Amino acid sequence: MFRFMHNLRYKTTNWKQYNQSLINRDSLTFWIDEKAIQLWNQTKPGHNEKTRLFSDLAIATALMIKCVFSMPLRSLQRSINSVFKVAQLPLLCPHCSCVSRLCFLMRVQIVNPNMIHD
């Protein structure tokens, strides 16, 4: 009986749908709010009265994406810039050294819904 079960295989009959499902499997969608676009660049001076180029929102967003996708900072910068390029937004990701320097000043918490226990 086990031998018979081992020989059974699923046969794909709708190749067009199967191929499309493989293409869509690695699809990624970002929703970028208009308010987030407006707040992306820094408008007030930083700690040393030096004007910072990026807001806390930009740094926090970069850190969240870094944590979710387990990316090194340089790859993160390239990925976020490519998202902005595809979306045709005139924004840039904070430089990896900027994110590295400012990550200690921010507390970013990511809650995994699968880890919450009642």
Interacting residues of 30 by C-beta distance below 8 A, sequence separation 6+: 83, 87
The helix (run of H) or strand (run of E) holding residue 73 is: helix 73-86
pLDDT for residue 53 = 80
Which sequence spans correspond to the domains of the chain?
A: 34-109
- How high is the pLDDT of residue 111? 66
The tens digit of pLDDT for each residue in 55-70 reads 888 888 898 888 888 8
